[in-house]
Amino acid sequence: MLPERKSKIATLLKQDDQAYCICRSSDSSRFMIACDSCEEWYHGDCINITEKEAKHIKQFFCAKCKEEDPTLQTRYKPKRSEKVDKTDKDDRKHKKNKEKEKVSKYEKDEPYNPATIGQKKPSKHCGECRGCLRTENCGKCDNCRQLKRFGYSRSGKLRCEQKMCHVFGNPLKPSKNVNRNIKLTKRRRRDSSSERIDYLEPPKHCYGPSCVKQSRPGSKYCSEDCGIKLATSRIFQVLPSRLQEWGLTPCIAEQNNGLAIENVRKQQQHVRQILHELDRRHAELDRIVERAKNDTIDPRTEIDDNDDTEMSMYCITCGHEVNSRTAIKHMEKCFNKYESQASFGSIFKTRIEGQVMFCDYYNPMNHTYCKRLKVLCPEHCKDPKISDTEVCGCPLVANVFDATGEYCRAPKKSCTKHYVWEKLRRAEIDMERVRQWLKIDELLEQERQIRSNMASRAGVLALLLHSTYNHEIMEKINQERNREQMRAIEEEMKRRKLSDTEQ
């Protein structure tokens, strides 16, 4: 019953004035069955077919289709009894095949010979290959793992795969009672070149100094102590000459790293000076605000001149047209409205000595701390209410940059020229602080990398692996050595002549 066929049947049955079956009626409420050849619908009671019988029909053909094509016959699904008969036949065939296998197994067995009773079985070890000469288990194969698991007493027939003879083949298989309740997982054997060479190569002598033992498989030494002894002797022999070579020739990379560290330190000092200047500006801003709080409003600045020819502009945040006189106030509020819809959080709290710049409000829902600047956070840090007697206090300038020493004494509540000037100044200083801190963090990471390179350059491993031979300096050293030898020979000759003359 495919979905396409169901939908087609539904559309056919819903048609009005449609005649079905041999009775040619439009009644579709009763049980109906369709012919698989002409797709004509018939009532079950009209053709003597019930709904239970229709479940066992595989293909149904009407009488008209059978008259036209006699080869068409209604097909039924097989019954359970037929399936049981087929399974019985399969079981009989399986039993016959088992009996044949048993007969073939017994035919291949050797005939009974009473003379062989009491004789020892032939040995399965040649005694000359590497597997026979090996005395220790590898501890890596499946048999060694079973030995560790069950103990030597229970699995005496198990043998290490590295100890099996290469001439007679595999050793005896483990008994069935050992692995009766445990299913061993089959692991894929590595087909690497090292394992094949280790399996086929003959035993080697240990490389350790004054050692007469056989090396371990896959190693050059019989134990770790031999390897450590050889390494220490090599260090004592090679390291003094390498240290002499390092001291004779200047290293260009060492000089470049020294210059790089000096440059990084200068940049760090410059960043620290900028941070100190930002702290000074922040303290100066606090003094200006405190001075404005203690002053009174100038009555001459209360009246604002309203020009009739005021310009209008569009808000950069919402795009609405606003008056240029109140544009700054509108843009600030509009920005805070949209900024409060986004969140900037981190799971770590800011820990900086001195003044706290970030909001660091803990959100228990997300388990994060707010990472906006405390001055600009519209969600958690609200602006304080402004009283009617509070002075604006914004420093006045001439020619954009020249400070005049005076400040605005207009009411802060109605001053539109210097709206939230204090908030913007503090935000500017805090943003510059954040930039300088990120910069000094990068400089410290650069210094750490340069120092690690300098420390690893003259290490023991680097000196043993790399060598620099300066021909000019070594020629001078050899010449000086030859001169000393000649002087020693001349002194010896003079001493001998004096001793001859005295005699």
Q: How confident is the model at residue 330 (pLDDT cuts 50, 70, 90)?
A: confident
For range 80-92, the mean pLDDT? 53
The pLDDT assigned to 101 comes to: 61
Map tokens 């053709």 to a residue: 47
Dist. CA 60–CA 57, nearest whole Å: 7
For range 246-257, the mean pLDDT? 83
2 occurs within a structural domain: no
- Residue 49, domain CATH: 3.30.40.10
187 occurs within a structural domain: no
Range of the domain at 50: 17-76
The pLDDT assigned to 397 comes to: 81
4, pLDDT greater than 60 = no
The pLDDT assigned to 93 comes to: 63
150, pLDDT greater than 90 = no
Give the mean pLDDT of the chain.
76
106 occurs within a structural domain: no
The pLDDT assigned to 228 comes to: 92
Q: How confident is the model at residue 184 (pLDDT cuts 50, 70, 90)?
A: very low
59 occurs within a structural domain: yes
Dist. CA 36–CA 10, nearest whole Å: 17
27 occurs within a structural domain: yes
- For 12, residues 6+ apart whose C-beta sits below 8 A from its C-beta are 18, 41
191, pLDDT greater than 70 = no
The pLDDT assigned to 47 comes to: 84
Asked which of 79-83, 111-115, 198-202, 249-253 is least confident by mean pLDDT, the reply is 79-83
The pLDDT assigned to 260 comes to: 94
Dist. CA 230–CA 239, nearest whole Å: 14
For range 121-135, the mean pLDDT? 73
The pLDDT assigned to 97 comes to: 67
Q: pTM for this one?
A: 0.46
270, pLDDT greater than 90 = yes
225 occurs within a structural domain: no
The pLDDT assigned to 325 comes to: 78
For range 179-196, the mean pLDDT? 44
8 Å CB contact between 129 and 145: no
69 occurs within a structural domain: yes
Distance of CA 47 to the CA centre of its chain: 71
Across the strands, what pairs with 314? 321
Residue 233 Cα distances to 21, 225, 412, angstroms: 106, 12, 84
Q: How confident is the model at residue 174 (pLDDT cuts 50, 70, 90)?
A: very low
Most confident of 300-304, 383-387, 435-439: 435-439
Dist. CA 286–CA 393, nearest whole Å: 11
412 occurs within a structural domain: no
pLDDT higher for 267 or 370? 267
Number of domains in the chain: 1
Most confident of 30-44, 214-228, 283-297: 214-228
The encoded tokens of residue 259 equal 């210059």
Most confident of 27-41, 322-336, 440-454: 440-454
